[in-house]
Structure formats: C-alpha cells, structure tokens
Copies of this chain bind each other. A is one copy, B any other.
Amino acid sequence: MLTDWMQLAVTRAKKAGVATYQNPQVGAVLVKDGQVLAQGYHHYFGGDHAEVDVLRQVTSEQAKDATLVVTLEPCSHYGKTPPCCERIVQAGIRKVVIGQLDPHPVVGGKGCQYLLDHDVAVVTGCLAKEVRALNPHYNHFYTHQRPWVTLKTAMSLDGKTNAAGDARTLISNQASYADSQRLRSQFQAILIGERTLTIDDPQLTVRLLAMTHPPVRLIVLNTSAVARDRRILQETTGETWLLCRQASASDASLQALPNVEVRIGDWTPAAISELCLQHGWQSLLVEGGAHLQADFVAANLIDEWVSYIAPTMIGGAGLPAVMGAVPTEQLAFEQPTLKWLGTDLRLRAVRKGVE
C-alpha cells in the first residue's frame, strides 16, 4: 500500500514538468484509514510546496492523525515559503512516508529530525529509485556540488556532425529537431563554443515551448567581439553569458545590453562547472562544437551523452562529434536507451555509476 501511494505521489510530481525550475519536482498524497484524502504537487518555482498543496485540500479534522506520503523530505527552513515541517506538525499529521531525503545541504536530514523531534513517525526510502529519477539534475547538483553535464550531438552513421568546410551541414530531421528542443528545455544552462556560434549562428532558445525560466546561454569565446551582430544577442528573453578568454574593446558595450553578461577568464570545463555551481544552474547541456565536447570528456566532467543519429553518411573529411583534448582513459556508460524519431535514432547513455 505504501508503495502504491508513493507511486501516486510520483505521478503527481511529474505533472509540473520543468516549471519547478531550480526546485525539485515533488508530489504528495494524504491518506487516512487506508483512503486517499488528497493528492498534490509542487506546481511551479516559487509556488506552494507539495505538502501545502495537499493540506489545502482537506479540513483540519481530516488532516489530524493522517499519513502524509511525500516524494521528498519536507523542508525545515524558511525559503520562498515557510517550512513544511511546521505545517505538518501543526496539522497533527501522525506519520510521514518519505521517498528520498533532500540532498540540499540546507534541508538534508533536518526535516526528518524536526518531525521526529515533534513525535511524528517517519518512514524513509519508499520507492527510492522511482523517486530519485524525478530529479536527477537536482540530486546530482547537491550531492556532488557541480552541475549535471550532458553532451549532445547530431551525427551521421559514421559519427560526423558536419561535412568538411565552414558551411553548416543539416543532418537531423524535424522530429529530432523537436525532440532536441524538449531536451534543451530540461536544462538550466546551455553551452556552445565559438565555432558553433559563427557557423550555426544559433539562438539557443526553446522555441517550441513557452518557458518561464529559459536556460541561460553560455558561449565560450576568445573575445566578445565575435558575438556582435549574432542572432543570439537579439534574443533577450533569456540571459546570455559571453565567457571570453581575453578582454576586448567590445566588452563594455555588450555588457550594457539587456540580459547579457561578459566575463573574462580561463574558461576550462572546471571553471564553467564552477560558474554553474555559483549561480545554482543545476544542469548544463553542451551542444558543441567538437573541441568543447572533447574538453569536457577529457576533464571527466560528463554525466550523460545524447546523440541524434541520422541515416546518412558524411564520410572521410567530416567533423567528428568529439575532437581534440585526450582523456586519460575510456569513460564507461550505462546501456543506452533508444528512441526512434522518424528515421532518426536518439541514443542516450548515462555515465556508469552517476547519480
């Protein structure tokens, strides 16, 4: 029964999709005498937590002595909302069943402790795997203090992303394009290199979905001058960060643009990862090019690989998906998962042992 209720909570949690942004997806179910009284979830970033969403639906009489089944440990601190633990104790809940302890250092374990200190029974670890799968990026970010990094590429059967030369080669079909937009929407930051900027001139927006918090766009450049007159700076609904290796005369004028940041530094993968940590960007999608991908592989800062494979062959002079810096060893991944996108194939593999 507990696992059935937790499954219900997991299902509710997913309804929010990416709207919870830097908050985790959380679902909750209130149960009494074997009956489900209410189901709720965290709807959007800044909105009520799942526990509050559930308690709102019942009378104080109903809530008293009930069991709360919730996917994530209830919070015990004043964040955007008052702590859920206080509400739970005030409501007279007798038992709380928790799917996963919160890896967030401000919460982790303290919510449980608060409940136990106030004579609420606590059960943890229910349906742990399904619950953890709700928030892989959030869990990873707070467990390892660095963003979840996914490398994404669109390639031919022979592993090439572009034909020889400076023109952009179209490889993927429309279904892959739409899917890669959905993928992009699941990340809080997107990264490209200078060559991708100049050859593709992308907007790096999530055009097919309306997003309250679009991913921050990061571009590694030699100098900011290259970014002038690019389409990415005309699109101001999200932030664009120009990560430049050298200062340039154009820095000040670009910095003055709305939603544009210019930063000078030695932008190694570790430095970019650290930037994400500082700003709370829990997930980073590295879209290319080949050298940037190779830098992340060599730095051992890669948690997932997604490739869109089109039934085409580019041949001998094509640009490989990953080219440049050399890792010290092969990196092992879990068995890939596959999805057909028309005649294209999406192959997705998570780094072995990553969580």
Contact = CB atoms under 8 A, between A and B. Distances in A.
A72 to B, nearest CB: 30
A326 B333 contact: no
A315 B294 contact: yes
Given A159-B159, A347-B345, A335 B320 contact: no
Question: What's the number of copies of this chain in the assembled complex?
Answer: 2
A313 B331 contact: yes
Given A157-B336, A345-B336, A325 B315 contact: yes
Interface residues of A, number: 51
A342 to B, nearest CB: 8
A326 B315 contact: yes
A349 B311 contact: yes
A177 B51 CA distance: 53
B317 A330 contact: no
A309 interface: yes
Interface string A108-123: 0000000000000000
Interface string A307-330: 101011111111011111111001
From A309, A325, A330, name the one whose CB has the most chain B CB atoms within 10 angstroms: A330
Contacts of A325: 315-317
20 contacts: A156-B330, A157-B305, A159-B321, A160-B322, A163-B330, A164-B326, A294-B316, A295-B316, A297-B316, A302-B313, A309-B336, A312-B332, A313-B333, A316-B322, A316-B325, A318-B322, A320-B320, A334-B343, A335-B343, A345-B347
